[in-house]
């Protein structure tokens, strides 16, 4: 699975597509594959604040529940409401099925995240494959 070059990634398997102070956040292909069939995604409301490295929601599959960690700090400007009834979109295409849009408090935080090559290397080390 190719990880988009223009995204940045966390070690907790979230991605952010950032342009200036605008960011779009989701989880990676690796994350959805590890979780399996996703049945429920708990996301903050528009207007909520998120803080880099802290939990902003959770995603539940049949097998497990996993916390979502904010790649950056900022304010939620939009939530992907279609995930409520159709969370399996994330299984089908994790890099397109976004969860939040945010206004970044500090766009410089993005440069501290992994790039696609770095993330791919991190995942391969974690799985030992």
58 interacts with other proteins by CB under 8 A: yes
Residue 12 interacts with other proteins (CB under 8 A): yes or no: no
Q: Is 62 in the site for other proteins (CB under 8 A)?
A: yes
Query: Under rule CB under 8 A, which residues in 76-95 are in contact with other proteins?
Result: 91
Alpha helix segments (H runs only) across 7-51: 29-35
Among 37, 54, 81, 93, binds other proteins (CB under 8 A): 37
How many Å apart are CA 129 and CA 124, to the nearest integer? 5
Q: What is the DSSP pairing of strand 55-61 with strand 49-50?
A: unpaired
Q: Is 124 in the site for other proteins (CB under 8 A)?
A: no
Residue 19, C-beta contacts closer than 8 angstroms, at least 6 positions apart? none
**Contact residues for other proteins (CB under 8 A)?**
36-37, 39-40, 58, 60-65, 91, 126-128
């Amino acid at each position: 699975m190719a990880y988009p070059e223009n995204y940045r990634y966390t070690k907790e398997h979230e991605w952010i597509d950032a342009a200036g102070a605008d960011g779009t956040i989701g989880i990676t292909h690796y994350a959805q594959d590890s979780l399996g069939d996703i049945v429920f995604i708990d996301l903050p409301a528009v207007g909520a604040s998120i803080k880099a490295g802290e939990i902003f929601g959770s995603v539940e599959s049949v097998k497990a529940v996993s916390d979502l960690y904010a790649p950056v700090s900022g304010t939620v400007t939009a939530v992907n409401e279609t995930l409520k009834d159709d969370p399996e979109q994330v299984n089908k295409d994790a890099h397109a099925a976004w969860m939040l849009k945010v206004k970044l408090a500090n766009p410089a935080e993005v440069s501290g995240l992994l790039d696609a090559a770095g993330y791919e290397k991190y995942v391969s080390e974690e799985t030992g494959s």
